[in-house]
Amino acid sequence: MFLVNLEYFHGDKPLIIPHRGGSNLVPENTKHGLEFTTKEGFTHFETDLRMSKDGEIFLHHDDSFDRTTDISGKVRDFNWHDISKINAGYKFYKRKGLHDMKTNFIRLVDALEFNKEMKFNLDLKQSGMAKQIAEIIYSLKAEKRVLVSSFSPRRLDEFLKVTKGKILSSGTFRENAIAKFLPNRVRKLKVQALQAPYNWKGFQIHSKKLSEYCLL
């Protein structure tokens, strides 16, 4: 295992990490979500990262804007200047039969700066942006506040190669498979966390034995 600072996990209470910044309560992955979780006293914030056409890293899950916003189109076709004007909460209340909520997307650099006490779980949603993300984290000295995750082994490996394991990371389905079939090897993985579902492809991942190895 790489030697990294584990301050991210410290605390005297169980960690509650709002998925996509509390997407059941506020528009997902938005500035409004960050404001809400800060106001409510959450210490951690899970979100997804995408890269605009001109290389800006911002919070967003899908590869298009169709599902949540007032426009349609692929993320890769838009510059940040245009993305910043999109109503990212347009369909939030419409799914509930109410009026839309106006809010904006936010860049990673601005999210990290908005609340310097907040810790982030950053899910990489596309390849080719590991270097840019690492540079943002290093420039803000936010290494202790970030855990990077991905369901894609390729994206995670890309990030580990760039950072040489100096930033916390969470396992992919590959590591989940090891956790299931070789739980005694979880301590040797090059990640510091597992975002493992209770069941995965018909197999139960969680077990008493796995928990015991993780807590050693």
Q: Are residues 35 and 115 in the same domain?
A: yes
- The yes-or-no verdict on residue 122 having pLDDT over 60 is yes
Q: Are residues 99 and 47 in the same domain?
A: yes
pLDDT tens across 59-117, in order? 999 999 999 998 999 999 999 999 999 999 998 876 555 556 789 999 999 999 999 99
pLDDT average, residue stretch 45-70 = 97
Does residue 166 lie within any of the structural domains?
no
Q: Are residues 31 and 77 in the same domain?
A: yes
pLDDT tens across 2-22, in order? 444 567 777 777 788 899 999
CA-to-CA dists, residue 157 to 127, 134, 154, angstroms: 10, 13, 5
Q: Are residues 147 and 187 in the same domain?
A: no
- The yes-or-no verdict on residue 50 having pLDDT over 70 is yes
Higher pLDDT, 47 or 201: 47
Contact 46, 123 (CB under 8 A): yes
What is the distance between the alpha carbons of residues 137 and 15, in angstroms, rounded to a whole number?
A: 22
DSSP readout, the chain? Answer: ------GGG--SS-----GGGTTTTS-TTSHHHHHHHHHTT-SEEEEEEEE-TTS-EEE--SSBSTTTSSS-SBGGG--HHHHTTS-TTTTTTGGGTS--------BHHHHHHH-TT-EEEEEE-SSS-HHHHHHHHHHTT-GGGEEEE-S-HHHHHHHHHHHTT-SEEB--HHHHHHHHH-GGGGGGSS-SB----SEETTEE---HHHHHHHT-
pLDDT tens across 135-192, in order? 999 999 999 999 998 888 889 889 989 998 788 776 665 655 555 555 555 556 566 6
Q: Are residues 127 and 48 in the same domain?
A: yes
- The yes-or-no verdict on residue 207 having pLDDT over 80 is no
Task: Tell me what pLDDT residue 104 has.
Answer: 94
Into how many domains does the chain fold?
Answer: 2
Does residue 162 lie within any of the structural domains?
no
Does residue 164 lie within any of the structural domains?
no
Range of 20's domain?
14-151
The whole model's pTM is what?
0.82
pLDDT tens across 18-37, in order? 999 999 889 999 999 999 99
Q: What is the CATH number of the domain that holds 134?
A: 3.20.20.190
